[in-house]
Amino acid sequence: MKQEIISGCKSLVAKLRKYITPTFLVALTMSFIFWYSGKLRYTYTAEIPISVVIEGDRHRITCMVEGTGHNIVSARYFKRLKVKLRRSDVELIPVDGMSSTYEVSSASLQNAISVRNPSLKIVSVSQMPYLIFEEE
């Protein structure tokens, strides 16, 4: 049984070699590349992770962004977006019952990230964990 499967595969490969030439494979690859690069010109909405550092406190949040496919692919896979912020760049809301603990306003965080990434429109951001700052 195993021998029959192997001989069947060999005969199938031999038949396909007559029809699939290296020139055909190159043309197929090039057409895929042109099609894909054409599709990247459209506007898309996607989630991308962004590393946010607020005065040494690093968090990874997920942002919903809108932009061209080129900008989204570049930001997601090649740039690895990292945003450094100061306390004054975002609105910090004190957490009730927890001293020196603050919640970052989503709207102010979205605005701060938008200013630093003009190629992408930030639609929304995920909630950031609480920040704890030492009293000065």
- What pLDDT shows up at residue 42? 94
Helix (H) or strand (E) holding 29: helix 22-39
Q: Tokens for 132, please give them.
A: 């704890």
By CB neighbour count within 10 A (0-12 exposed, 13-18 middle, 19+ buried), where does 114 fall?
Answer: middle
Instruction: Look up residue 122 and give its amino acid.
Output: I
Give this prediction's pTM.
0.71
Which residue ranges make up each domain of the chain?
2-39, 43-132
User: Distance (Å, rounded) from C-alpha 57 to C-alpha 129?
Assistant: 10
Instruction: Look up residue 88 and give its amino acid.
Output: S
Q: In what side-by-side order are the strands of the sheet with 57-68?
A: 82-85, 43-54, 57-68, 121-125
- What pLDDT shows up at residue 9? 78
CB 133 within 8 A of CB 102: yes
- What pLDDT shows up at residue 123? 93
Instruction: Classify domain 43-132 at the CATH topology level.
Output: RNA Polymerase Alpha Subunit; Chain A, domain 2 (2.170.120)
CB 114 within 8 A of CB 122: yes
b/e for 69-102, b at 16 or more Cβ within 10 A?
Answer: bebbbbbbeeeebebebeeebbbbeeeeeeeeeb
- What pLDDT shows up at residue 135? 63
Which stretches in the chain have pLDDT values below 70? 135-136
